[in-house]
């Protein structure tokens, strides 16, 4: 992996986390706006989420996760928090496949691994894992 690739991957993860956090805040704003019917709110939330996934993630069937299901946190417990989640390691697993390790401290410590792959000369996020200290192993989680 070149330094240029490493910088691109670093930016990809940071931008994804930031944009997902912005999306969570957008969802909460829609939820609070009583003038928007629930069905319209859900359509807007999902539409924006699909756009984010098209920009940052590999195109694959994610039956039980985003963007097919819409789940988000709220202030103090966002699923994505670019102000708290930081990259601690970028490791090339094999050619065109990289593991990006991150850590968060709020509201409690969380460790994640993002699997990033290069498809058609573009780096994209393929999946995400979270470390379960209870089970002492990495588990697949929805992006």
- Among candidates 78, 79, 33, 69, which has minimal Cα distance to 49? 69
pLDDT digit string, tens, across residues 50-65: 999 999 999 887 776 6
Reported as a pLDDT band with limits 50, 70 and 90, residue 17 is very high
Which pLDDT score, from 0 to 100, does residue 47 have? 94
Tell me: the pLDDT tens digits for 121-141?
Answer: 999 999 999 999 899 999 988
Tokens of 123: 């780096």
CATH for 10: 3.10.450
| Cα four-point dihedral sign 92, 124, 109, 66 | negative
Q: What is the SS3 assignment for 21-79? A: HHHHHHHHHHHHCCCCCHHHHHHHHHHHHHHHHHHHECCCCCCCCCCCCCCCCCCCCCC
pTM, two decimals, is 0.91
pLDDT band at 67 (very low <50, low <70, confident <90, very high): low
Residue that is written with structure tokens 């992006």 in the block: 143
**Structural domain boundaries, residue 13:** 3-141
Return the pLDDT at 55.
96
- Report how many domains make up the chain: 1
Cα–Cα distance for residue pair 54/71, rounded to 1 Å: 17
């Amino acid at each position: 992996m070149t330094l240029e690739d490493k910088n691109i991957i670093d930016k990809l993860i940071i931008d994804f986390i930031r944009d997902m956090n912005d999306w969570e805040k957008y969802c909460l704003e829609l939820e609070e706006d009583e003038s928007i019917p629930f069905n319209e709110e859900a359509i807007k939330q999902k539409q924006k989420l699909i756009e984010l996934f098209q920009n940052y993630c590999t195109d694959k069937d994610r039956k039980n996760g985003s963007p097919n299901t819409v789940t988000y946190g709220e202030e103090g417990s966002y699923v994505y928090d670019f102000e708290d989640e930081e990259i601690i390691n970028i490791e090339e697993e094999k050619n065109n496949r990289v593991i990006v390790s991150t850590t968060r401290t709020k509201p409690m410590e969380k460790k994640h691994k993002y699997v990033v792959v290069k498809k058609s000369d573009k780096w994209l996020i393929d999946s995400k894992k979270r470390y379960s200290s209870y089970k002492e192993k990495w588990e697949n989680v929805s992006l």
